[in-house]
Amino acid sequence: MQRKVKRILEQVAKESNIPVSVVQAAVESQFQCAREATKSGISGVPSSFKNIRFPNLGLLVAKEWKIKMLHSRKENKVKATNK
């Protein structure tokens, strides 16, 4: 973990009178949920991907054209390795 992030987590934990591990788990949980949501999407099926909103960070949008492009690149890579 980066020193700056660790320092911020320690400061928040001290101000809130809770353990650093609890603060760290709260911060990391939103990214864990985002990881699981993106893994649940089916490659090549844009409607299976969910948009994810991070409070104070922004929105992660699954755009149809980008999903199709990534899927076709993945297929081309698999075809190239099988030759």
Domain ranges (residues) in the chain = 3-82
Instruction: Tell whether the model's pLDDT for residue 4 goes beyond 90.
Output: yes
Helices 20-39 and 3-16: crossing angle, nearest 10°? 120
> Of 70, 15, 83, 16, which Cα lies nearest the Cα of 38?
70
The tens digit of pLDDT for each residue in 13-33 reads 999 999 999 999 988 888 888
Say how far apart CA 83 and CA 81 lie, in whole Å.
6
- pTM higher than 0.75 for the full model? no
